[in-house]
Structure 1
Amino acid sequence: MNEFDELCPKVWKTFDIIGKRWNGLIIYVLMSGPKRFSEIHSSIPSLSKRMLTERMKELEEEGIVIRHVIPERPVRIEYILTKKGSELGMILGPVSKWAKTWIK
């Protein structure tokens, strides 16, 4: 087995995560710090609440996002990037810079 054979599934999985519709934007929004569901939704208004819920569950299962319950009255829930999620998010900065330069 060569290096390409070992890396290919990992690279494929990475592109699957960030390439899934909305995931990149959600991670990008969370790069600025913890956000409540409504804050994420207002940052990406064309994303439906149902789809946001689905994507947040998927990102949580992948270990990219943590759902943090704050025991106040009323209970608050914030979403925070994990270390894994933050490191993934760091690659989105250059993508954003590229987009600002090249996308009309």
Structure 2
Amino acid sequence: MTNDTFKMDKCPMTRTMAILGSKWKPVIIYTVNKKHLRFGQLAAQMPLISRKVLTDQLKELEEDGILLREAYNELPPRVEYSLTEKGLALLPILQQMCEWNRQFEKHGEECTAR
């Protein structure tokens, strides 16, 4: 089954995971938060992700209506990413996931993605 097939499934959890179920998408959303970030800024805040994977994940999040990609007509070209209303609605869920980790993990380390 393709990811698009999962997005058409009757189960809301299956559809949600088809959109967010990668290793990096929740981290990207949590990193963008309520800011407008350029590709280089995102890459710098997420040093463990390759540039190719970041590019692919950003494209998929844009296609799914989670991220807005704004290209500015200037030299050098500038592109900024921000969350759509649909993406902003995910922030409380991701913050709860971080809180769950803090509650049950003994490491006590803070998330580096803000």
Q: TM-score, normalised by structure 1?
A: 0.84
Aligned residue in 2 for 1:95? 97
1: CA distance, partners of 2:34 / 2:67: 13
1: CA distance, partners of 2:10 / 2:65: 20
Unaligned runs of 5+ residues in structure 2 are: 1-8, 108-114
User: Structure 1 vs Structure 2: percent identity of aligned residues?
Assistant: 35
Aligned residue in 2 for 1:29? 31
Unaligned runs of 5+ residues in structure 1 are: 1-6
2: CA distance, partners of 1:36 / 1:101: 33
1: CA distance, partners of 2:34 / 2:44: 14
Task: Give the superposition deviation at 1:22.
Answer: 0.2
Q: TM-score, normalised by structure 2?
A: 0.78
- Report the aligned-residue RMSD: 1.6
Task: Give the superposition deviation at 1:25.
Answer: 0.1
Task: Give the superposition deviation at 1:8.
Answer: 5.2
Compare the two structures and name the one with the higher helix fraction.
Answer: 1
Q: Deviating runs (4+, > 3 A) in structure 1?
A: none
Task: Give the length in aligned residue pairs.
Answer: 98
Query: SS where residue 19 of structure 2 aligns?
Result: helix
